[in-house]
Amino acid sequence: MGVSGFIKGFNLLHRTKPRIRLHPYGYIQRRDFSDTKILNSNDSLLPVLIVGAGPVGLVLSVLLTKFGIKCTVLEKNKGFSKHPQAHFINNRTMEVFRKLDGLAEEIQRSQPPVDLWRKFIYCTSLTGSILGSVDHMHPQDFEKIVSPISVAHFSQYKLTRLLVKLLENLGFGIHTLEGPDSLDHEPLRGGEILMGYECVSIDTTDECVTATVSFSKEGKLLTRKIQSKILIGADGAGSMVRKLVGIDLKGEKDLQKLVSVHFWSKDLGRYLLNERPGMLFFIFNTEVIGVLVAHDLTQGEFVLQIPFYPPQQNLEDFSPEICKKLILKLVGQELSDIDVIDIKPWVMHAEVADRFVCGNNQIMLCGDAAHRFPPAGGFGMNTGIQDAHNLAWKIASLLNGVAPTSILATYETERKPIAVFNTALSVQNFRAAMAVPATLGLDPTVANSVHQVINKGFGYILPSGMQKAILDGIFSIGRSQLSEFILNENNPLGSSRLAKLRHIFEEGKSLQLQFPAEDLGFRYLEGALVPDGDDVVPAPELPTGRRRDYVPCADPGSRLPHMNVKVLSNFPSEETISTLDLVSENKVEFLLIIAPMEESYNLAQAAFKVAEEYKVSTKVCILWPADTVTRVQPGSKAKLAPWKNYIDVIEVKRSLDSSSWWSTCQMTEQGAILVRPDEHIAWRSKSRAVGDLYSKMKIVFSTVLGFESMNS
């Protein structure tokens, strides 16, 4: 399926009206009631139960807690994973982390220096010939022009460790079944992480979601029921929550099977650190092919990814001793300190769930439970964390009585198209990665076709040992294309292949790491927002698979552009912050940005009145042009009285020719921008505020919060 078809197919699914059905796995819906009911009547219930203690579930629990919503996290494993897994944290996720009590700063302090991971290196062995390298960090990536923070390289298990510490600082306790603090029969009040509990059935009623969870204690398999107002499935690619509620995945299955080998070698780390530092090493030689992920060269932590072809190959073919030999073949020299920690198979998929929300907006899927991507481009964990960021303020708005249940439906409306796009982009990036071995005479599609023939064709009738011998023999012949006899400039075939390879690298057609336009520029077209009146919803843009620069704008649904501003005050020292920092990190609060104009002050007055009626916190930011004022302006206080929740700031330009704030937003100073608690733009006015401003702002808030949909 082509990329265009991939996206169109998902868009058709997206337009399908969600429906609830019985499912044999154990999901039962016991009622039919209005989507507008607010689930805040029973204070004895646990507000939110999060299934899955990976980064997505933990980030969601942090966000909810900071918004004052109590939650409990369940994890089926008895301990947190120590496998590095995801490791690239993109710009938008780092922006989210800036609001989590110093998490972004801690990651920046703890990650390896950027010069040790900015490159992808293609070679015949780690000590052999370099076929090419690609530097994925551009000068503008460090200049903080479009974002107040840069990307990061930080292993998932280390991130999990920091998130758990953050939650402990917020009052959470970790409860294990073996420990004295086990809560196997205690009521849950929020602030717990329960290890060793697996969700086995889900039942919904008018009042709550009831999850039956199983756990093993003292050799006995026990169960208990946990009731909550909302249940979140953040339990990974094999999500039990998704299966229990009967939500299917659509897309491409089994793109590739691999074995992941987690190992340590300080000797290898020191060598690469001094000779050829990089993040990914693509190694092609006559004995073995693999991709080495350098999680930390200083510490010597690595993960090796090797193609896996079951059933002819099985895990016994990748014992620790065999893996050590494979590592040495990829390195090209002896190492005495290889310590293999973990070996596990995994399958690469490109799929998105039919629905992200079900059970009358009481059950939601987040992260890998909702979408499974190829790792190319690092979109998996990043998209999941941004799912949580989108969802947290909506859950808080509902449970605080500010919005109806329909606001949770906008989670799917907004996030599913992003997941579909990122899936297609990941697949395209994965295909780009495959272009390199194909150019070297090792087309992965041929290898997969040969494997299919052996599995389903004539080879299936042969004994398993013979099947394995045939497969190994064919792959050995294929790898012979990588011999020095062929792959050199004096061999016409080798010279041609090397020239094509250089062209791929120079044109940016190989695997890419950063996608700024997609990372910072994704936009919600429908949902908890008010489109421009003249806005024609564009057709979904197709991913290019290549790096494109982000162009700031203030279209509804877009992320608020970043610009440094100085907070005006009557004190000598004035703080310089990002416009993103104007959005509160500790409460659900909307932000209205205006210029210091009479009509805009009137609009702010109307917004304050409407927000008070809807019981939703709103702050006004008066953004002054650069070099126009030096202290807090008494005029704002007078014009906004009696309302006090406002802030005066002034632009901080990088240079004399830098764009002004309103130019950056592609607007004029006569306009206004209403920003949601997740830093996405809910509404804007591109022209002077005139007419019945109270009625205008009432329509805006009712639409964004979901009351307008109740009346339509």
Question: Where on the phi/psi map is residue 654: left (φ > 0), alpha (ψ -120 to 50), or beta?
Answer: alpha
Strands 220-233 and 27-29 come out as unpaired
pLDDT at 207: 85
Residues 6+ apart with CB under 8 A from 187: none
Least Cα distance to 212 among 26, 71, 359 occurs for 26
Q: What is the pTM of this model?
A: 0.91
SS3 245: coil
Burial of 310 (0-12, 13-18, 19+ CB in 10 A): middle
Question: Is-contact 526 414, C-beta < 8 A?
Answer: yes
- Structural contact between residues 125 and 111, judged by C-beta atoms closer than 8 angstroms: no
DSSP annotation string for 641-687: TT---EEEEEE--SSTTSPPHHHHTTS-TT-EEEE-TTSBEEEEE-S
Three-class DSSP category at 339:
strand
Q: State the residue for tokens 């065999």.
A: 322
In the numeric block, which tokens belong to residue 45? Answer: 């219930």
Give the CA distances from residue 233 to residues 22, 109, 199, in Å, rounded to whole numbers and listed in that order.
Answer: 18, 32, 10
Tokens of 602: 């009137």
pLDDT value at residue 33: 31
Task: Pull the structure tokens for residue 309.
Answer: 């072809």
Domains of the chain (ranges, CATH numbers): 252-348+431-507 (3.30.9), 523-705 (3.40.30.120)
Other C-beta atoms closer than 10 Å to the C-beta of 636 total 20
Q: What is the CA radius of gyration of the chain?
A: 27
pLDDT along the chain (712 residues), means of 10: 47 38 41 40 83 98 98 95 91 97 96 96 95 92 92 97 98 82 75 95 92 90 94 96 97 92 97 97 94 96 94 90 96 94 94 95 97 89 98 97 96 97 92 91 78 70 77 82 90 94 92 92 95 70 79 96 90 83 96 96 97 97 88 84 94 88 94 98 92 96 84 51
Closest CA to 284 of 175, 107, 75, 132: 132
CB 195 within 8 A of CB 75: yes
The pLDDT, as a whole number, for residue 281 is: 97
- CA-based nearest residue to 663, from 604, 595, 603: 595
φ/ψ of residue 574, rounded to 5: -120, 135
Other Cβ atoms within 10 Å of 254 Cβ, number: 10
Q: Are strands 672-675 and 681-685 parallel, antiparallel or unpaired?
A: antiparallel
pLDDT of residue 462: 73
CB of 647 closer than 8 Å to CB of 582: yes
Instruction: Name the residue among 206, 188, 201 with its Cα closest to residue 241.
Output: 201
State both tokens at 105.
């700063």
Q: Give the per-residue pLDDT at 694.
A: 97
* Longest distance between any two alpha carbons in the chain, whole Å: 88
Q: What is the pLDDT of residue 182?
A: 63
Burial of 553 (0-12, 13-18, 19+ CB in 10 A): middle
Q: Which two tokens stand for residue 254?
A: 């089994």
At residue 398's C-alpha, the angle toward residues 392 and 400, to 5°, is 100
463 upstream amide cis, omega within 30 of 0: no
Per the CB < 8 A criterion, the answer to whether 433 and 376 are in contact is yes
Burial pattern 88-116, b for ≥16 Cβ within 10 A else e, equals bbbbbbbbbbbbbbebbebbeeebbebeb
- Residue identified by tokens 């300190």 is 337
396 SS3 class: helix
CB 408 within 8 A of CB 18: no
